[in-house]
Chain A
């Protein structure tokens, strides 16, 4: 089994190490980086529970090899809330009861965040189409639509997502996160 050395920034923290070349990004995040907020709900790229932002774009991290993220900047659900405050999307889901069991939620929140980065004021159809790649079995989606609308009206994608897109590599304001030492910001790749 071949191995590769990678350097991947996740939520502003750089990680360097050798990984198996077939390791999926989602397993890299969950097992190597210990970020278990990103979930796996299928093995055919349908459900979107594993959605994260990779260099400014939402991707299904079960369909990306971790080696392909070498040098990249990843934002996961753990990186959205800054300084203990939920991001507008997270808060919207809370206010509008956009989650029940919570398993699809991290992916759904990331997809909604990605949507609001592209479209600050989506209408209902645009919201539904924007989250079409993410499956939820609990809510029937209507209250997720409400949640995204709430977020659009109350701050949009949020600071962490904007920072991820515009100033990748900068550490999150969460003071608890260790600052990357002696590393350069990950290279900027325009989506």
Chain B
């Protein structure tokens, strides 16, 4: 039987999704469902003077209108202690889009009508829509009870590295911006709550159903067995669906009050101001280095804009940025610190990579700056500073942050097999001399990031009960298998990947394996899908559960074959006795026997049904090397990606087809951040990118063809040897694009171009520098 792990099999998920038979939350139909609509603030900072709901309440089909005052005793949304965000604004609004009131009506059109009829009177307050404004002399604290808009400050090193920076032969100060982005899963936030006497059921667009169950139970004073959270098909998440949203609590509470199921479907316009944004960091970097480009010291001061209400995950993201600030380089001293600042903008939380892309962007831009300063090739500077394969596992200076097996120089070498670098440099020089030709730029990114999130002590800091994952594998009487897993995929293809793992461990047909996920009523326990943990942590739990089933099946087989258990082996789907090739029983026969007590030893525990947990030993560290070649139109400033090559080392690849998809998708989001996307606000806090067009979400004509390859360095941190790859593309891509753009303009003395590198921005640079 050939190995399924490593095979590019097509997905089990697809037939339903391709024929319109998927079940997303808005497709779930419960009799008697009523619809909730929000009244949202159109001002970024204001005092609520009055809310007049009388007109709305009298409208056809309306079952009720509620403000904060009408929901006394309602728990706040998931929050940072001391900064509890009420589900509906109390007295003041902090950002455009904050929920002020809710309407419930018999259909969604009527609910929307009634929401329009709610009259809110505001008194405008000074708006602080940027970190600069929120930290200015005259700034006032946005969150009541806080002394300053700087709500968290941390220093993550014993020294500020001043001594080492001062002693370095060269020293550079660099300011970098990682602009605010929106995750934009194609399905916005949707939830349907049904509170009955027996408890609460919520269908929700979430990446973390079990975590949500635990939280909802705690918030509403229910026991966990009274709460069921179902994440059916979920239309993308990219980290943003790991946050908790007020609508989850509000539909639950209103379902309890109305004794009917209550559904909420966010519009895209609402989504652009309501769903957590990502990134939104600025870095003040100082780097010390010698004449050869060896990095001697790095100081990074990070400013995290956390928006109008700090998100429980979002507020801690700069910690991850700090831990990863050294990238794949040996830097003797690193001194990171950060401050998180509240502003009159949408809250900031996880977005694909969550804190690590910011670090990778920073250090990869720094390396290019160092190369430019010394007139060295950027690849040479990288090679001189890489942590070497022989030094793995590599303990960084941060406690517990230990890079697992990787080959940073090897990934770069593999990348250069695909790219004729000297030829590109020649071509670049030729183009520069020809005013009619577009400029050419070559950018690299040799990245490392964190995957396989856990372990438990780390995940506890983000509010989760653990950093493990849980799986159950059960054989039916007919020898087919059902897997239940605590991860909650939203596009990652766990049905397929996990069936591949079980097919190998139990040597049963891939088509006879089914996966159940995303329902706390059927799946034993779970944490969720985020932090590139699906395969490394979830997949490892699945593997362990399958091994337990196999071991028990082997005991039954040994009994059937009248052999010693240690002599029984599973070969090609059959248990055989070593050295006696004629004697065998198939897994199907063993499965039947598992349910026949009279044919098993006395007291044998019936069934083949095993649960396993996998607690990762530590984070894993996916890495790789990317190259981007850009062409810049001298007349318009438009950047075109001529080539994009990605070499990824995610360890063991379960399914090359799906791995390619994950890399493509991540790279696409990284390119989009580099060239197109930015959530922008006016000084008055009004969103300037409230639609998909204004936000310039890329279409097929905006993105290139991607070339991908893998270097496989198995991690020893989990039994599968997989490191995770969901976030690698998004982590690696922005800086390879920006490095290429800067490289194309470097002969003009350009050292930096801020993201997104829009035609307008690049055109201005070309004009100023007389291309």
Contacts and interface: CB of A to CB of B under 8 A. Distances in A.
Interface string B482-499: 000000001111000000
Nearest to B666: A140
Interface string B221-247: 000000000000111101000000000
B423 interface: no
Interface string A121-155: 00010011101111111111111110000000000
A46 interface: yes
A131 B692 contact: no
Interface string A106-123: 100100000000000000
Nearest to B705: A142
A134 B699 contact: yes
B703 interface: yes
B19 A81 contact: yes
Given A100-B492, A137-B236, A145-B700, A94 B20 contact: no
Contacts of B691: 42, 44, 46
A178 B19 CA distance: 18
Interface residues of A, number: 56
A127 B699 CA distance: 12
A101 to B, nearest CB: 3
A78 interface: yes
Chain A contact residues: helix, strand, loop or mixed: loop
Nearest to B489: A101
A101 B699 contact: no
Nearest to B664: A140
A106 B233 CA distance: 14
Contacts of A43: 267-269
A49 interface: yes
Interface stretch (B7-15, B388-396, B577-585, B745-753): B7-15
B27 A36 contact: yes
Listed residue (B184, B187, B188) with the most chain A CB atoms within 10 angstroms of its CB: B187
Interface string B398-420: 00000000000000000000000
Contacts of B700: 127-129, 131-132, 134, 136, 141, 144-145
A142 B703 contact: yes
Given A41-B186, A86-B15, A100 B20 contact: no
B26 interface: yes
Contact of B268 (A41, A99, A128, A139): A41
Given A41-B268, A43-B269, A142-B703, A105 B692 contact: no
Interface stretch (B192-200, B502-510, B531-539, B653-661): B653-661
A102 interface: yes
Contacts of B491: 100-102, 138
Given A101-B234, A102-B491, A128-B701, A78 B19 contact: yes
A63 interface: no
Given A20-B109, A41-B186, A46-B691, A90 B661 contact: no
A129 B700 CA distance: 7
Given A43-B268, A139-B661, A93 B14 contact: yes
Listed residue (A35, A132, A140) with the most chain B CB atoms within 10 angstroms of its CB: A140
A86 B21 CA distance: 13
B483 to A, nearest CB: 20
B15 A102 contact: no
Chain B contact residues: helix, strand, loop or mixed: loop
Contact of B185 (A22, A80, A101, A132): A101
B706 interface: yes
Nearest to B663: A140
B17 interface: yes
Given A47-B268, A86-B18, A95 B10 contact: yes
Contact of A136 (B13, B186, B265): B186
B588 interface: no
Contacts of A134: 699-700
Contacts of A101: 185-187, 233-236, 490-491
Contacts of B665: 100, 137-140
A76 interface: yes
A151 B700 CA distance: 17
Contacts of B184: 137
B186 A137 contact: yes
Given A97-B11, A132-B701, A137-B238, A104 B186 contact: yes
A86 B27 CA distance: 22
A39 to B, nearest CB: 7
Contacts of B109: 20, 22-23
A136 B705 CA distance: 15
26 contacts: A30-B26, A36-B20, A36-B23, A38-B20, A41-B186, A41-B187, A44-B691, A46-B692, A46-B693, A49-B186, A77-B19, A80-B19, A90-B18, A94-B11, A97-B10, A100-B491, A100-B493, A101-B490, A102-B17, A103-B187, A104-B186, A106-B20, A131-B700, A138-B661, A142-B703, A142-B704
Interface of B: 10-11, 13-15, 17-24, 26-27, 109, 184-188, 233-236, 238, 265, 267-269, 490-493, 657-658, 660-661, 664-665, 667-669, 691-693, 697, 699-701, 703-706
